[in-house]
Amino acid sequence: MVTGIHIPEEEILVDILTRLPVKSLLRFKCVSESWKALISDPYFKRKHLNHAKNKLNFQKFLFDTLSPGKGYDFYCASLSPNGLVNDFRRLDWPSVSTPFCGFKVYCCCDALFLIGIHTENSSNEPSMLSLWNPSISESMVLPRLGSPLQVSTYGLGYDSISDDYKVLRIDQEGMAPDEILALKSASRERIYKQIEAANLKYQEIKKNIKGQGLVLNV
């Protein structure tokens, strides 16, 4: 007698939930404690992210506008395989408690944006760093940096061994040690770990994208 293949209900549920947008998953946390635990599980989060990366329309077009008296607005749109822009929407600006005069998007990793906030026009070093997740309209201000540098740049990456995102600060003049911050410990300890690196000068790669926006394959 031939019988059908039995697939556990939890596997079916995971397969369905990984295809949903983040905002829907946040709402579904209220369904039950088991759903909340599943959606909060690190393995599920990574599976959901990997599924999103494989989607053809996961490439995003990000740009900002500055309106007199209103400040900055961020917008995002999806790019289809044929290059057409769709799903155009406005993003909630990262929460910053102090007034600022400018910002810089350093990089993006797994749809998380590392942003430098400037509260002084004359300062090359950002007054604060913010990690922003526009998918759920949440952001966090990272711990205070070490001694200010004249010329520095920042990077954000994912460490699969420790399952953690890490921020790297590089002195482009090669005068100070490079530093790295593990975000899991950032909420508990304000520690930047110095890392061994060759005494080299780094040249930041810049491109004028004013009025054009930025294409991110995240």
Residues 99 and 133 in one domain: yes
Residues 147 and 48 in one domain: no
Confirm whether 1 is domain-assigned: no
Write down how long the chain is: 218
- B/e letters for 68-88, b = 16+ CB within 10 Å, e = fewer, are eeeeeebebbbbeeeeeeeee
Residues 47 and 114 in one domain: no
CA distance 217 to 47: 18
The residue range of the domain holding 146 is 59-217
Q: What is the pLDDT of residues 152-183, one digit of tens each?
A: 778 888 888 888 888 887 766 555 556 777 77
Q: What is the pLDDT of residues 172-212, one digit of tens each?
A: 655 555 677 777 765 444 444 544 444 444 344 444 334 44
Residues 27 and 78 in one domain: no
User: Could you give the number of structural domains in the chain?
Assistant: 2
Residues 14 and 63 in one domain: no
Report the predicted TM-score, pTM, of the whole model to 2 decimal places. Answer: 0.64
Residues 23 and 121 in one domain: no
**What is the sign of the dihedral through the CA atoms of 208, 214, 215 and 218?**
positive
Residues 68 and 157 in one domain: yes
